[in-house]
């Protein structure tokens, strides 16, 4: 009996421990949502203060900082809100997120107009322009900040990222190694170093840098993507697949590793798995032009031309100015003998990218086929 009681109490204790752990996780999620709401409220207050003090550079600096704080925290908040079935809140933050980033850039610029020596506004402008993807503009601001504040690791990382984006590999490597001198155990610095080395074709060194980053932060989903890309470049598809899967395990709702996984699975002719990966990427990020391309090409390979055409058309709806999608749609329609529709697709591809010789060649083929069909019908 004593043994039975011990077993029962052990099971109950274990159950309570598990329940307590999950309760703690849920509590953490709600705390995150609360923090995002607080950040959003602070942004609203800072916006009002800037309106009331239009000549105060500090007011605009505060607005820029508040907007960046909301922008940085809202991404995680959106994922948690979706997981907790709070779609209305997630949707509100999703709409507010890009506006906050734009407001941050404009606020920092206004602060510098009022006080060109305000170093914190220069720091904010460097960071916000990088996050906005305007890396060419960010480089000059980041360089200026480094001249005045040479001990901020984040500025080196942002400048390094901007230089990588502009494919200025040599300067990027110098800057990122400077960041590692300031902070030798910085996982982001090793991740960016991996990107630089991969860009320079130093694949073995890139892999070593990515692995060092992962050792410092095993949940760094972007680093696994970089590692997967490097392993794919080494013609190690199974190891690359494993790296992309680890990225998904770290952050399940991020589209890019699914897209990369679809690509490498397609190269291995694992069609069903590749299709599933591309569909998941599109589900998570509908504007993903590369996912529509990859999925459509697999469907064409499988002779599912109707489905491929629908896929390309959906991709065009999300990316109407993507010349490649129009071209691929034309190919699928051409295979289906839908010549007038294919003609329109090739014309649109050329209109968007006049340098496309492949689209011009296909256009001429279709025009010739249409003429031949017309001649036969006139006989």
Per-residue pLDDT of the chain (379 residues; tens, 9 = 90+): 555 555 555 554 555 455 555 566 577 877 878 888 898 899 999 999 999 999 999 999 999 999 999 888 887 777 777 777 777 877 877 778 889 999 999 999 999 999 999 999 999 999 999 999 999 999 999 999 998 877 889 999 999 999 999 999 999 999 999 999 999 999 999 999 999 999 999 999 999 999 999 999 999 999 999 999 999 999 999 999 999 999 999 989 889 999 999 999 999 999 999 999 999 999 998 989 999 999 999 999 999 999 999 999 999 999 999 999 999 999 999 999 999 999 999 999 999 999 999 999 999 999 999 988 887 776 6
The pLDDT value recorded for residue 150 is 76
Residue 323 CA to its chain's centroid (Å): 21
d(CA 307, CA 323): 20
The pLDDT value recorded for residue 15 is 55
The pLDDT value recorded for residue 1 is 53
Backbone angles phi, psi at 220, to 5 degrees: -80, 95
d(CA 281, CA 194): 24
3-class SS of residue 53: coil
DSSP, residue by residue, 274-300: HHHHHHHHHHH-TT-HHHHHHHHHHHH
Six token digits for residue 70: 């909301």
d(CA 321, CA 335): 23
DSSP, residue by residue, 115-173: -TT-HHHHHHHHHHHHHHT-HHHHHHHHHHHHHH-TT-HHHHHHHHHHHHHTT-HHHHH
Residue 224: other Cβ atoms inside 10 A = 27
d(CA 209, CA 229): 13
Six token digits for residue 236: 């190690």
Closest CA to 199 of 175, 230, 154, 222: 230
d(CA 74, CA 92): 10
d(CA 9, CA 141): 63
| Contact in structure between 118 and 57 (CB atoms under 8 Å) | yes
- The residues, ordered by sequence, that sit 6+ positions from 211 with a Cβ below 8 Å of its Cβ are 227
Six token digits for residue 324: 């490649």
Six token digits for residue 29: 């999620």
Following CA atoms 256, 262, 264, 270 in sequence, which dihedral angle do they give, to the nearest 10 degrees? 160
| Contact in structure between 340 and 353 (CB atoms under 8 Å) | no
Cα–Cα distances in Å, from 18 out to 83, 220, 253? 20, 26, 25
């Amino acid at each position: 009996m004593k043994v039975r009681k011990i077993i029962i109490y052990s099971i109950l204790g274990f159950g309570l421990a598990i329940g307590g752990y999950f309760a703690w996780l849920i509590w953490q999620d709600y705390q995150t949502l609360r923090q995002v709401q607080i950040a959003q409220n602070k942004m609203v207050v800072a916006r009002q203060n800037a309106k009331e003090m239009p000549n105060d550079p500090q007011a605009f600096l505060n607005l820029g900082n508040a907007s960046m704080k909301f922008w940085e925290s809202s991404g995680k908040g959106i994922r948690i809100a979706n997981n907790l079935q709070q779609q209305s809140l997630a949707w509100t933050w999703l709409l507010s997120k890009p506006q906050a980033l734009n407001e941050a850039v404009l606020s920092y610029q206004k602060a510098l107009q009022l006080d060109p020596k305000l170093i914190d506004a220069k720091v904010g402008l460097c960071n916000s322009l990088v996050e906005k993807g305007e890396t060419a503009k960010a480089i000059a601001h980041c360089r200026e900040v480094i001249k005045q504040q040479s001990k901020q690791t984040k500025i080196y990382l942002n400048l390094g990222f901007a230089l990588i984006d502009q494919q200025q590999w040599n300067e990027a490597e110098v800057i990122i190694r400077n960041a590692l001198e300031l902070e030798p155990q910085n996982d982001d610095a090793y991740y960016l170093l991996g990107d630089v080395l991969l860009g320079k074709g130093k694949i073995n060194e890139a892999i070593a840098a990515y692995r060092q980053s992962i050792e410092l932060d095993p949940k760094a989903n972007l680093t696994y993507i970089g590692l997967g890309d490097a392993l794919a470049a080494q013609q190690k598809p199974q190891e690359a697949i494993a790296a992309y899967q680890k990225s998904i395990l770290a952050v399940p709702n991020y589209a890019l590793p699914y897209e990369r996984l679809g690509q490498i699975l397609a190269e291995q002719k694992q069609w069903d798995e590749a299709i599933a990966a591309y569909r998941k990427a599109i589900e998570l990020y509908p504007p993903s032009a590369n996912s529509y391309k990859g999925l459509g090409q697999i469907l064409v390979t499988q002779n599912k031309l109707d489905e491929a055409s629908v896929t390309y058309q959906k991709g065009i709806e999300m990316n109407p100015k993507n010349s490649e999608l129009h071209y691929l749609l034309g190919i699928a329609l051409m295979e289906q003998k839908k010549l007038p529709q294919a003609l329109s697709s090739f014309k649109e591809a050329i209109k968007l990218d006049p340098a496309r010789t492949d689209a011009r060649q296909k256009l001429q083929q279709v025009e010739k086929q249409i003429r031949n069909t017309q001649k036969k019908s006139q006989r």
